[in-house]
């Protein structure tokens, strides 16, 4: 399993090129007109990195409700491996109870997400802009701790 | 041989220490911190310890803020895994002696996560006494641990 | 008379957050009962919320990073009647269309309270729940979501 570590300024290039917005799983790099990368602020947002491979961003972190949004992006490394590593960090190191993530409805990655324990919760119409259209997206949830 | 020097205005050299997942210097999740978060933990008067030119540890002894006694300090200390406990403890002792030579030091407190064997070894090798524990307080390394409270009191205090 | 939805000054925001606290109303993801004002303001900055006065309360818009034509909204008006909510929320959603170029809005329930009854008359429809995502009254609860088009 890849080892995630905290963000360093030298990771800025990787973050900028991998980040495709707050999607649960994204791979292949951002391309032009990519959304701005997240900024780790030590409170609401934590950026974790596997150098030269990808990033895992936990944002909208709330330690009262023990929840966060998780987004994982790689260039060409297997994104599902990074997602699995991020789930371990979220549950065991940050003691979150669940994470949620967004995938366009019907996205090819949803099978992999389900295999890691994610459950489709809500589909929001027009939630993602893709290929010139607003398409629906599903919020997936992974429970990490039932207590 | 471990050398010591104040971090000063540029803590860059110390950042790499936080890559070890159990480098518990003021944080239970050192390897998950971003660089700005790490820099926020490193005060200019923290001491960077080096061996063979490489950073191997951090020591910080601020005044205990909560009650304002001039002679009460809090010890934050952590060394890289490759540093034996007695070498680390010796360095801590040396820094404490230097401080005591310049400022009155009556009592030094130090907290260690319950499951942190290296932290407990350092505290005990440095002559700190276990005063108590707060149960089930800290999530570290995938489990809940108590917080162990150690202290060292100056002779005659 | 058409209710006004106008941008909130910092002083107005603080006063209205205090009012929401008095009425135990959560807003835009924050629980005013437990989150200090500075933390709530920091959250609004972090999510780039636009905040408006709505009657004696607040209307907030959080842009959706994945689609600039959609936003998360919330409204909290202490003591408002059903008719007042319908009018204010309707005006707010129209503002989203005419001034913010939003085509649709999503409302994610911050804490469970009686405001849910006012959403469907304003054109929002329930679309599902996030199970166990909200801690309230000593236990984890499902968080309901609503969605609607602005025109």
Domain positions in chain A? 5-143
Question: Measured between CB atoms, which of A42, A92, A93 is closest to B34?
Answer: A42
Residue B156 has a pLDDT of 55
Residues A111, A112, A113, A115: is their CA dihedral positive or negative?
positive
A90-140 pLDDT, tens digit each: 999 999 999 999 999 999 999 999 999 999 999 999 999 988 889 999 999
B105-117 pLDDT, tens digit each: 899 999 999 889 9
| Average of per-residue pLDDT across A29-46 | 84
Question: Is the pair A, B in contact (3+ CB pairs within 8 Å)?
Answer: yes
B4-55 pLDDT, tens digit each: 999 988 899 999 999 999 999 999 999 999 999 999 999 999 999 999 999 9
- Region C5-149: CATH code: 3.40.630.30
Mutation target vs B (from A1, A4, A5, A6; most B CBs, 10 A cutoff): A6
Q: Which residues of B touch A93 (CB under 8 A)?
A: 29, 32, 139, 141-142
Size of interface A-C (CB pairs under 8 A): 77
B57-115 pLDDT, tens digit each: 999 999 887 666 778 999 999 999 999 999 999 999 999 999 888 888 899 999 999 88
CB A19 within 8 A of CB A79: no
B37/A40 CB distance under 8 A: yes
Give the whole-angstrom CA distance, residue A102 versus residue A88.
Answer: 19
The residue among C111 and B128 whose pLDDT is bigger is: B128
Residue B51, H or E segment:
strand B47-51
Q: Which residues of B touch A47 (CB under 8 A)?
A: 34
Mutation target vs A (from C39, C43, C66; most A CBs, 10 A cutoff): C66
Residue A70 has a pLDDT of 98
The ipTM (two decimal places) reads 0.93
* pLDDT surpasses 80 at A78: yes
Question: Measured between CB atoms, which of A42, A89, A94 is closest to B37?
Answer: A42
Largest pairwise CA distance in chain A? 43
B15/A8 CB distance under 8 A: yes
Q: The whole model's pTM is what?
A: 0.87
Q: Which residues of A touch C69 (CB under 8 A)?
A: 126, 129, 134
Encode B83-136 in three state secondary structure. CCHHHHHHHHHHHHHHHHHHCCCCEEEEEEECCCHHHHHHHHHCCCEEEEEEEE
Confidence bin at B126 (pLDDT 50/70/90): very high
| Average of per-residue pLDDT across A54-79 | 95
* pLDDT surpasses 90 at A68: yes
| CB-based burial, C29-67: b 16+ in 10 Å, e otherwise | bbbbeebeeeebbbbbebbebbbbbbbbbbbbbbbbbbb
A39-58 pLDDT, tens digit each: 888 889 999 999 999 999 99
B35/A8 CB distance under 8 A: yes
∠ CA A78-A84-A90, rounded to 5° = 135
C130/A65 CB distance under 8 A: no
Overall size of chain B counted in residues: 157
Give the whole-angstrom CA distance, residue C144 versus residue C130.
Answer: 6
C5-53 pLDDT, tens digit each: 999 999 999 999 999 999 999 999 999 988 999 999 999 999 999 999 9
Residue B140 has a pLDDT of 81
Question: Measured between CB atoms, which of A6, A92, A95 is closest to B33?
Answer: A6
Q: How far is A5 from chain B (nearest CA, A)?
A: 5
Report the CATH fold assignment for A5-143. Aminopeptidase (3.40.630)
What architecture is the B3-153 domain classified under in CATH? 3-Layer(aba) Sandwich (3.40)
Residue B136 has a pLDDT of 72
B29/A40 CB distance under 8 A: no
- Chain C: touching chains (3 or more CB pairs < 8 Å): A
CB proximity list for B77: less than 8 A, separation 6 or greater: B25, B57, B58, B59, B60, B88, B92, B110, B122, B126
Domain positions in chain B? 3-153
C73-88 pLDDT, tens digit each: 999 999 999 999 999 9
Q: Which residues of A touch B141 (CB under 8 A)?
A: 92-93
Question: Measured between CB atoms, which of A67, A122, A137 is closest to C66?
Answer: A137
Residue B66 has a pLDDT of 67
């Amino acid at each position: 399993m890849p080892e995630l570590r905290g963000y360093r300024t030298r990771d800025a290039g990787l973050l900028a090129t991998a980040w495709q917005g707050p999607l649960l799983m994204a791979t292949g790099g951002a391309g032009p007109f990519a959304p701005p990368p997240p900024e780790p602020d030590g409170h609401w947002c934590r950026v974790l990195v596997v150098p030269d491979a990808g990033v895992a961003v936990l944002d909208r972190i709330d330690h009262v409700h023990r929840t966060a949004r998780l987004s994982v992006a790689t260039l060409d490394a297997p994104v599902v491996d990074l997602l699995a590593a991020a789930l371990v960090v979220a549950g065991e190191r940050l003691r979150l109870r669940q994470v949620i993530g967004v995938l366009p409805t019907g996205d090819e990655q949803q099978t992999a997400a389900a295999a890691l324990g994610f459950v489709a919760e809500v589909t929001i119409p027009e939630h993602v802009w893709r290929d010139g259209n607003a398409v629906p997206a599903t919020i997936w949830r992974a429970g990490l701790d039932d207590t | 041989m471990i050398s010591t020097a104040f971090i000063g205005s540029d803590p860059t050299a110390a950042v790499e220490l936080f890559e070890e997942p159990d480098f518990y210097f003021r944080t239970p999740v050192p390897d998950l911190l971003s660089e700005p978060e790490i820099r926020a933990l490193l005060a200019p008067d923290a001491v960077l310890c080096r061996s063979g030119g490489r950073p191997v540890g951090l020591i910080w002894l601020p005044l205990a803020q909560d009650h304002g006694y001039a002679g009460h300090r809090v010890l934050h200390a952590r060394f890289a895994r490759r540093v034996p406990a007695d070498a680390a403890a010796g360095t801590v002792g040396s820094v404490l002696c230097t401080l005591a030579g310049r400022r009155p030091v009556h009592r030094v407190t130090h907290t260690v996560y319950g499951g942190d064997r290296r932290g407990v070894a350092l505290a005990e090798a440095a002559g700190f006494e276990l005063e108590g524990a707060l149960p089930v307080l800290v999530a570290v390394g995938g489990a809940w641990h108590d917080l162990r409270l150690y202290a060292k009191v100056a002779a005659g205090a | 008379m058409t209710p006004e939805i106008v941008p909130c000054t910092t002083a107005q925001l603080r006063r209205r957050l205090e009012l929401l606290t008095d009425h135990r109303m959560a807003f835009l993801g924050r629980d005013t009962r437990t989150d200090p004002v500075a933390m709530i303001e920091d959250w609004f900055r972090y999510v780039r919320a636009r905040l408006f006065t709505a009657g004696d309360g607040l209307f907030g818009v959080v842009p959706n990073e994945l689609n600039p034509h959609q936003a998360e909204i919330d409204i909290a008006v202490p003591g408002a009647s059903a008719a007042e909510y319908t009018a204010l929320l309707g005006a707010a959603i129209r503002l989203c269309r005419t001034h913010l170029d939003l085509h649709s809005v999503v409302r994610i329930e911050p804490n469970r309270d009686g405001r849910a009854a006012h959403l469907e008359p304003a054109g929002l429809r329930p679309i599902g729940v996030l199970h166990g995502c909200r801690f309230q009254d000593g236990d984890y609860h499902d968080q309901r979501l609503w969605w609607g088009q602005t025109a």
